[in-house]
Amino acid sequence: MKAYLSRRYHFSASHRLHSAAYDEAENREVFGKCNNPHGHGHNYTVQVTLSGKVDPVTGMVCNLADLDAFAQKNLIDRFDQMNLNTLECFANQVSTTENLSMEIHRIFARFPAARLERVHVEETSNNSFDYAGEARPAAGTL
């Protein structure tokens, strides 16, 4: 029996939306106030949805303590109170929340105890982003 588990995590981080492909005027036009040279911050909420068989002994998809420890080490410790632009994962890409969602997906895809289904990141009360990974081919197709 397959079940789904969603868990939320919180961290605060800053970033500046800025692309080396644009000059200063283009960056201001495309990113507006988010191109502030001093950056700006967000209190992010991340929800990960995992799936797996329900263990007949524990009744769980996975041990929440294991998931929380994984999230602390690989998500919170890495991103909380950081300027995202200074992190290696954003060295060659704009630190948008779309790109952050994909990075968080890469992180949780490595969690061994359950299958990652999707990542949902809330940047503000008005902006949220979802990433479910690359589309998988249907069974029996190449």
Residue 139 domain-assigned (yes or no): no
| pLDDT above 70: percentage of residues in the chain | 94
Beta pairing class for 128-131 and 82-83: unpaired
Positive or negative, the Cα torsion across 102, 103, 104, 108? Answer: positive
For residue 11, the domain's CATH number is 3.30.479.10
Q: How confident is the model at residue 138 (pLDDT cuts 50, 70, 90)?
A: low
Q: Which amino acid is at 6?
A: S
- On the question of pLDDT at 72 being above 90, the answer is yes
Q: Which two tokens stand for residue 48?
A: 């990960």
Q: Is the pLDDT of residue 123 over 80?
A: yes
Residue 123 lies in a domain: yes
Q: Which domain holds residue 33?
A: 2-131
Bridge partners (DSSP) of residue 11 are 44
Beta sheet of 2-15, edge-to-edge order: 82-83, 2-15, 40-53, 115-122, 128-131
136 part of a folded domain: no
Does the structure show a pLDDT above 80 at 88? Answer: yes
Q: What is the pLDDT of residue 134?
A: 86
pLDDT greater than 70 at residue 69: yes
